[in-house]
A and B are shown apart, each in its own frame.
Chain A
């Protein structure tokens, strides 16, 4: 018991807790490691709206709604378990988990992280089907992979038109005309 007595006397002048949220020692507390899994955040320029993150979310906190020509991606922070699967699978590194962890709030609207991307219209039927940025990105990736000059020449004009057909129209048109849609686009220069 004597050693406990000595330890208690030693401890009198060395408190280990720090004053929070401000004051002496707060700097020590607020230095969290860089890979802390805190509040998720969208990078609006990089996000292409592909919704790969939505399909991988462990808890169903990430959802998307297509309405009025836009796609709204929402993260409900009440359900988020901060597991980082969404950031892992994002192809464009547009979703990161920041180090912000003080996200308690009185206001439910502060507990929603969202991003909006524009949807593009199908050139045949006029319905919204995919985000514009995603189609542009596919275009860039495909063009970047072609090497033959002739393919590049053909693809350069046709590819945007081909990509801007919604899947239904692609199916119905290729059935109707009995040719590959891309050839249809080549012939029908409208």
Chain B
């Protein structure tokens, strides 16, 4: 019986990641006066291209599975091959801790916040290690930039997650969600933490203005330059899963995870799930618009901007949560 969620949840997470990635591409394209992958193909090309291109990100990953995996001779082979695989495993592990509108495996674990923060750091860390082991000057520069970016972004991510945990006096995602069901969504109580979380999501997923490690105009592809074939498919899949995990985490921590009705009967659970999806789509919409209208920072500008504005805001959001908790009288 336990086997069912163990298999279904990562698959669900991956499919959601594909859909969110599609939405990001679609909104990005639409904001630039073009169409993007078509949701419903026009009649003349239906026979060639199918009914809809909504699964385009999935096709991108599947295409890579059929391509040749090239391993550079001077790369450290063990680390080169294992890094994408470990980051994919860690991403899959982190997907167990999210509650998908009520459906979850480990979200009710009393320490799920701590687990998920560690695992999320691990995913980015193995991308960096993969880049360093590639023996290409582009990967080295990309990994260096990713490591610098991680230093400033992880602090903000942690502080916003803990702001939400402080207000609800619980270190488990299930507990935070039931707090929000009882009182108010935390985005209304502490909007600063939500803002910091959104910016941190931009940094972790390499969206503008933090597209620095993957800047294709300067350093070809950053840490992923030398990857191809199945290993690149592993990296892309871990990216999709990470998108879905981070969006789901935001909705869980700040928007009460879609829990607007108590999950007592299947009808309520279905409503919760649909609300969860809607909220995820709204969050992805915001991320995509910001990705479209901002150019890339330079790495030193990103660090100095974060230290000047983002870290004080993160510190302030923690203090603010303490004040809110005191006012609300949560024990």
Contact = CB atoms under 8 A, between A and B. Distances in A.
A4 interface: yes
The prevalent SS among residues of A at the interface is loop
A26 to B, nearest CB: 9
A26 B222 CA distance: 40
Nearest to B294: A1
A14 B45 CA distance: 22
B32 interface: yes
Contact of A19 (B32, B42, B293): B42
Contacts of B32: 11
Contacts of A16: 33-34
Interface residues of B, number: 15
B33 A17 contact: yes
A33 interface: no
A2 to B, nearest CB: 9
B293 A4 contact: yes
Nearest to B38: A19
A17 B35 contact: yes
B289 interface: yes
Interface in A1-34: 1, 4-5, 7-9, 11-17, 19, 21-24
A176 B124 CA distance: 98
Interface string B287-300: 00100111000000
Q: Which residue, of B31, B42, B45, has the highest number of chain A Cβ atoms within 10 A?
A: B31
B30 interface: yes
A23 B44 contact: yes
Contacts of B30: 11-13, 15
Contacts of A15: 30, 33-35
Contact of B31 (A12, A21, A22, A24): A12
Nearest to A12: B30
B310 interface: no
Contacts of B42: 19, 22-24
A115 to B, nearest CB: 35
Interface of B: 27, 30-35, 42-45, 289, 292-294
